[in-house]
Structure 1
Amino acid sequence: MILGTGAAGFDFDEGVRYVCEEVREYESSVADTRAITYSQREYADLESIAEERR
């Protein structure tokens, strides 16, 4: 499964929230997820948002 945050005009934070929700609610077990960002700042923001969604 590949999910991205840059499509459909969503801002980064909103896109990350949608991606985290989809991964969490995916019916099959997701054994491995990888986060790829364009900067350390985006990665830190992604981690923070993902932690809120746990």
Structure 2
Amino acid sequence: MLELEKKERRMLERRVAELEEELKVLGDLRADNQRLKDENGALIRVISKLSK
């Protein structure tokens, strides 16, 4: 039984590590998305001024 518990613990620790990595990636993607939205807004303003 103890060996089974160790194996289960290792599996859970691996899963936790995977989820932590996914959270980091998600945070990076959100930051990239916000940066792109900001850049898009700036480009729209420039194009709007140029087309007047």
Flag the structure with larger Rg.
2
Shorter-chain TM-score range: 0.3 to 0.5
Which structure is richer in relative contact order (CA contacts within 8 A, separation 6 or more)? 1
Higher helix share: 2
